[in-house]
Amino acid sequence: MCLSPAGPAKGKYTVGSQTCTSFAKNTHGAVDEPPNYGEAARAAYAREAEMRHANGRPEYAADGTMLTDSGARSIFDDVDE
């Protein structure tokens, strides 16, 4: 379900060919989850956003997708899922 006001179908389920503009992987947990309401998750996501390959390109996209050093989606992105 896309909850973003700028999403393709706000408040409705998206199909496989659609993506929500606010999509992000939940790899470190929700940022509004009790008991600490995302303090640890926010810190983990911030560390992930700062990670860089040796050539300076980001290791993760804004949505949490693992990237290769050339910026393409990594084949290892879904290994742990």
Dump pLDDT digits (tens) for 25-72: 788 888 777 778 888 888 888 888 899 999 999 998 888 888 999 988
pTM of the predicted model as reported, rounded to 2 decimal places? 0.59
Asked if residue 64 lies in contact with residue 48, where contact means CB atoms within 8 angstroms, the answer is yes
Q: CA-to-CA distance for 81 and 64, rounded, in angstroms?
A: 13
Count other Cβ atoms within 10 Å, centred on residue 2: 19
Torsion, Cα of 33, 35, 39, 43 (10° steps): -70
Q: CA-to-CA distance for 60 and 67, rounded, in angstroms?
A: 5
Amino acid letter, residue 25: K
